[in-house]
Amino acid sequence: MTLSKSDRTAEEFKAAARRVFARQGYTATKITDITAEAGRATGGIYRYFDSKAAVLRALADDFLQARHENVVHSSGHGHRMETEQDVRDHVKAYWKSYGAHLAEMVAIYEAAVADEEFAEVQRKIRAKDLTIWGDHIKELREHIGKPGGDPAALATMVVSLLESYCYATLHLGKGGTRENVDTLAGFVYGGITN
């Protein structure tokens, strides 16, 4: 699919914002930093984004879409959760997409501390994660013959664990190897199915 010139320019601004956020953090970034990184005049960004926050919201949307696509493409039968491998696929997709969008995920976290708008963005991302995991947990437990339990509570535990693990390993650099992610996936599967 070929992007229009307008879409390419918006993508350039988002890519520039990611680089600046990764280098200096969201709070320290100004619109002029993003436009300078993109090699564009400052006024040009306002055709696409009305603020630094709008750029970050667009990056958050990209993150959610990428994570969904990673799950669907990594699984042989689509977006379902019926086996331990399905749980592994979902955990790996979460970790992979978080890593691919690390700059904006950390920026969202940083922005949410001081900005109610981004606290709401973070809540929306989390709510979507909780809904997806809650539905999948119910699906998996029914598939293995263990209906019941509290899928919402389990989803909260799983999502909290994934968020913390990704932040610690990918941002703070405390070791996020493929083997560790496999171990994490096994841990999540055990927690869901017991």
Displacement of CA 171 from its chain's centroid (Å): 13
CATH no. of 52-193: 1.10.357.10
Residue 136's pLDDT is 94
Question: What are the structural domain ranges in the chain?
Answer: 52-193
Query: What's the pTM?
Result: 0.79
| Contact criterion met (CB below 8 Å) for 125 and 64 | yes
Residue 184's pLDDT is 93
Q: What is the pLDDT of residues 111-167, one digit of tens each?
A: 999 889 889 888 988 888 899 899 999 999 999 999 888 999 999 999 999 999 998
Q: What is the pLDDT of residues 178-188, one digit of tens each?
A: 778 889 999 99
d(CA 149, CA 146): 8
* Of 71, 79, 73, 40, the residue nearest 162 (C-alpha): 71
